[in-house]
């Protein structure tokens, strides 16, 4: 048995072929073509959000969203995320200020944000990590009080709803990632969701070199357009997204049956008012209460060809490119979680007997 940590969902080959066939008639391959427009329409309907802009990937969506808001100075964010979150800040000539996370769901600790605000702070960039929803009400209250923008990294949160509201509608803007490893994907791809019309107009320009019209370029943009083949993949995958998520849910529930309630093994709490997407299955292995630590469990599973992921390790403030400037000691909870978390394999096609075997191996190792 060999199990990868994730496996991209693919539509039937013929379905994709059919979807891209008319591109041979139109010969319109990129630059906001008909597939792009259609996917944009279908996604805004599926997510129940007013407006969405598509991009070549999630990172550029985030980077250009930060640019579009014209931010300066400091942005408060979490070190417990993917490299993209902080890189998007720094590549906009902004300074990241790392706030610790909470021990409950590993999102930014909203109670620690205010003490980090300075006269230079202009925005908060929280992450719905693993699809766990940030303390949005508290974050918005702080942002309002101090006149800050809130831009969410919602890369993990496709389709997630709380009390019937899609979390992509939170804040001034939210970024979604449609990377091949995400729940919904367009091979590579991403989006910005926001209620502001002006923002979408600006993003349209920024993802196309800042070109306003044939003779006017008045923004320093990038090239971040989603092409027609990506959009076609999205149109296919969106048709199957509900069953994709339902199958992931079955896998997650099977894991829970095996691992819930074991001392020293902590799973994310499931909340009643949330509709999840089951993108990840993070487990905290508490080395104080277990005979072996996360790193050994990772290695031993690898020996058995079970590929898990230390996600997120290292913390962003411990990356070689940031370590000389930032100190992970200032975010102790994040440091602790990063050293004890392991994301177990989860994808729609993962078989129950594979989940059973993975859990058996883990339980054997930790003597439970
Ligand atoms: C995947 C991811 C991104 C970047 O998205 P891409 O589409 O891969 O560019 C950003 N932040 C987080 C938390 C992610 O997981």
Name the closest-CA residue to atom 2, ligand 1. 155
Most ligand 1 atoms within 8 A of CB, residue of 5, 59, 152, 192 to mutate: 59
Q: How far does the centroid of ligand 1 lie from the alpha carbon of residue 177, in Å?
A: 5
CA angle, 276 then 49 then 181, to 5°: 45
Name the band, by pLDDT with cuts 50, 70 and 90, for residue 124. Answer: very high
358's tokens: 């993975």
For residue 181, give the ligand 1 atom closest to its CA.
1
Which among 143, 151, 154, 91 is positioned nearest to 121, based on CA atoms?
Answer: 143
For residue 189, give the ligand 1 atom closest to its CA.
7
Rg (CA), the chain: 21
Q: How far is it, in rounded angstroms, from Cα 141 to Cα 146?
A: 9
In the chain, the percentage of residues whose pLDDT exceeds 90 is 98
Name the band, by pLDDT with cuts 50, 70 and 90, for residue 368. Answer: confident
Name the phi and psi angles at 290, rounded to 5: -125, 155
For residue 153, give the ligand 1 atom closest to its CA.
11
What is the rounded average pLDDT of the residues 99-104? Answer: 97
Name the band, by pLDDT with cuts 50, 70 and 90, for residue 99. Answer: very high
- pLDDT tens for each residue of 54-98: 999 999 999 999 999 999 999 999 999 999 999 999 999 999 999
Helices assigned H by DSSP within 207-240: 228-239
Q: Is the minimum distance from the CB of 58 to ligand 1 under 6 angstroms?
A: yes
Cβ atoms of 51 and 195 closer than 8 Å: yes
Name the band, by pLDDT with cuts 50, 70 and 90, for residue 246. Answer: very high
Q: How far does the centroid of ligand 1 lie from the alpha carbon of residue 137, in Å?
A: 24
Q: Is the minimum distance from the CB of 153 to ligand 1 under 6 angstroms?
A: yes
For residue 88, give the ligand 1 atom closest to its CA.
10
Q: Is the minimum distance from the CB of 154 to ligand 1 under 6 angstroms?
A: no
Cβ atoms of 160 and 134 closer than 8 Å: no
Q: Which residues pair with 193 in a beta bridge?
A: 52, 174
Q: Is the minimum distance from the CB of 59 to ligand 1 under 6 angstroms?
A: yes
- pLDDT tens for each residue of 300-327: 999 999 999 999 999 999 999 998 888 8
* Residue 36 CB-half CA count within 13 A: 19
- pLDDT tens for each residue of 289-302: 999 999 999 999 99
* Residue 117 CB-half CA count within 13 A: 18
Q: How far is it, in rounded angstroms, from Cα 44 to Cα 168?
A: 10
Q: How far is it, in rounded angstroms, from Cα 31 to Cα 9?
A: 26
Name the closest-CA residue to atom 10, ligand 1. 84
Does the structure show a pLDDT above 90 at 154?
Answer: yes
Does the structure show a pLDDT above 90 at 266?
Answer: yes
Q: How far is it, in rounded angstroms, from Cα 153 to Cα 132?
A: 12
């Amino acid at each position: 048995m060999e199990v990868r940590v994730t496996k991209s969902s693919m539509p039937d080959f013929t379905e994709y072929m059919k979807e891209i066939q008319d591109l041979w008639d139109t010969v319109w391959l990129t630059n906001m073509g008909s597939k792009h427009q259609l996917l944009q329409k279908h996604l805004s309907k599926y997510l129940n959000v007013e407006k969405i802009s598509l991009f070549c990937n999630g990172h550029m969506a985030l980077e250009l969203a930060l640019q579009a808001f014209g931010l300066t100075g400091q942005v408060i964010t979490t070190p417990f995320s993917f490299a993209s979150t902080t890189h998007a800040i720094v590549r906009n000539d902004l300074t990241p200020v790392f706030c610790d996370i909470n021990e409950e769901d590993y999102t930014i600790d909203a109670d620690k944000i205010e003490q980090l605000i300075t006269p230079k702070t202009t925005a908060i960039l929280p992450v719905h990590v693993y699809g766990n929803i940030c303390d949005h009400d508290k974050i918005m209250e702080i942002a309002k009080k101090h006149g800050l923008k809130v831009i969410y990294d919602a890369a993990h949160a496709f389709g997630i709803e709380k009390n019937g509201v899609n979390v992509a509608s939170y804040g001034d803007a939210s970024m979604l990632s449609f990377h091949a490893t995400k729940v919904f994907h367009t091979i590579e791809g991403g989006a910005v969701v926001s209620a502001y019309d002006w923002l979408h107009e600006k993003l349209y320009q920024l993802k196309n070199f800042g070109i306003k019209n044939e003779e006017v370029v008045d923004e320093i943009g990038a090239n971040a357009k989603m092409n027609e083949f990506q959009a076609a993949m999205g149109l296919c995958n969106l048709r199957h997204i509900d069953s994709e998520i339902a199958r992931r849910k079955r896998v997650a529930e099977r894991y829970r049956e095996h691992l819930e309630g074991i001392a020293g093994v902590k799973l994310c709490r499931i909340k009643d008012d949330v509709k999840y997407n089951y993108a990840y299955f993070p487990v905290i292995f508490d080395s104080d209460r277990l005979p072996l630590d996360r790193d050994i469990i990772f290695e031993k599973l690898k020996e058995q060809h079970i590929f898990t992921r230390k996600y997120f390790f290292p913390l962003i403030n411990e990356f070689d490119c940031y370590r000389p400037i930032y100190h992970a000691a200032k975010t102790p909870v994040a440091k602790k979680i990063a050293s004890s978390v392991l994301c177990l394999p989860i994808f729609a096609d993962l078989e129950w007997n594979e989940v059973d075997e993975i859990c058996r191996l883990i339980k054997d190792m930790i003597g439970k």
